[in-house]
Copies of this chain bind each other. A is one copy, B any other.
Amino acid sequence: MTDPTLAAIFAHIERNADAFVARLIDYVRHPSISAQDVGIAEVAGMLLGMLERLGMAAELLPTRGHPMVLGRGPEVRGAPTVLLYGHYDVQPPEPLEAWTSPPFEPTLRDGRIYARGVGDNKGQHLAQLLAIESHLAVAGRLPCNVIVLLEGEEEVGSPHLAETVAAHADRLRADLVVTADGTLHPSGRGTILYGVRGVVHFELHVRTARRDTHSGNFGGVVPNALWALVHLLASMRGPDGRIAIGGLADPILPPGPAERAAVAALPLDLPALMAELGMRALDAPRDRPFWDRLMFHPTLTINGIAGGYAGPGSKTVLPAEAVAKCDIRLVEAMTPEQALAAVRAHVAAVAPGLGAEVEVLGTGGMLPSRTPMDTPFAPVLRAALTAARGEAPLEYPCMGGSLPDYVFTRTLGIPAFVTPYGNADEANHAPDENLAVDCFLAGIRSGAALLAGLGAMAEGGG
Q: How far is the CA of A417 from the CA of B308 in the complex (A)?
A: 32
Known contacts: A234-B230, A401-B214. The answer to whether A314 contacts B308 by CB under 8 A is no
Q: Determine, out of A141-149, A317-325, A373-381, A432-440, the stretch whose residues face the partner at the interface.
A: A317-325
Q: Determine, out of A88-96, A295-303, A338-346, the stretch whose residues face the partner at the interface.
A: A295-303
Q: Contact at B302–A315, with CB atoms within 8 Å?
A: no
Q: Contact at B402–A216, with CB atoms within 8 Å?
A: yes
Q: Contact at B355–A284, with CB atoms within 8 Å?
A: yes
Known contacts: A220-B400, A230-B234, A279-B223. The answer to whether A309 contacts B319 by CB under 8 A is no
Known contacts: A239-B231, A283-B223, A307-B304. The answer to whether A314 contacts B364 by CB under 8 A is yes
Known contacts: A327-B316, A364-B314. The answer to whether A305 contacts B307 by CB under 8 A is yes
The one of B221, B304, B324 that contacts A317, using a Cβ cutoff of 8 Å: B304
Q: Verify if A389 is at the interface (C-beta below 8 Å from B).
A: no
Contacts of A308 in B (CB 8 A): 302-305, 325
Shortest beta-carbon distance from A299 to chain B in Å: 4
Q: Verify if A354 is at the interface (C-beta below 8 Å from B).
A: yes
A window 217-236: CB within 8 A of B: 217-224, 226-227, 230-231, 233-235
Q: Contact at A301–B219, with CB atoms within 8 Å?
A: yes
Q: How far is the CA of A218 from the CA of B327 in the complex (A)?
A: 13
Q: How far is the CA of A265 from the CA of B336 in the complex (A)?
A: 56
Q: Determine, out of A25-33, A186-194, A204-212, the stretch whose residues face the partner at the interface.
A: A204-212
Q: Which residue of chain B has the shortest Cβ distance to A270 in the bound complex?
A: B221
Q: Contact at A278–B220, with CB atoms within 8 Å?
A: no
Q: Which residue of chain B has the shortest Cβ distance to A357 in the bound complex?
A: B280
Q: Which residue of chain B has the shortest Cβ distance to A401 in the bound complex?
A: B216
Q: Contact at A216–B329, with CB atoms within 8 Å?
A: yes
Q: How far is the CA of A217 from the CA of B277 in the complex (A)?
A: 13
A window 271-288: CB within 8 A of B: 276-284, 288
Q: Verify if A5 is at the interface (C-beta below 8 Å from B).
A: no
* Candidate in A218, A302, A315 with the most chain B CB atoms within 10 angstroms: A302
Q: Contact at A221–B294, with CB atoms within 8 Å?
A: yes
Contacts of A304 in B (CB 8 A): 226, 307-311, 315, 317, 319
Shortest beta-carbon distance from A26 to chain B in Å: 33
Contacts of A278 in B (CB 8 A): 209-211, 320
Q: Which residue of chain B has the shortest Cβ distance to A350 in the bound complex?
A: B239
Q: Which residue of chain B has the shortest Cβ distance to A356 in the bound complex?
A: B280
Contacts of A310 in B (CB 8 A): 303-306, 323-325
* Interchain residue pairs A-B with the least CB separation, the first 4: A216-B401, A210-B278, A304-B308, A220-B293
Q: A215-B327, A306-B306 are in contact. List 10 more A-B contacts (CB 8 A).
A: A216-B402, A218-B277, A220-B294, A220-B400, A221-B400, A235-B239, A301-B318, A302-B308, A304-B311, A309-B325
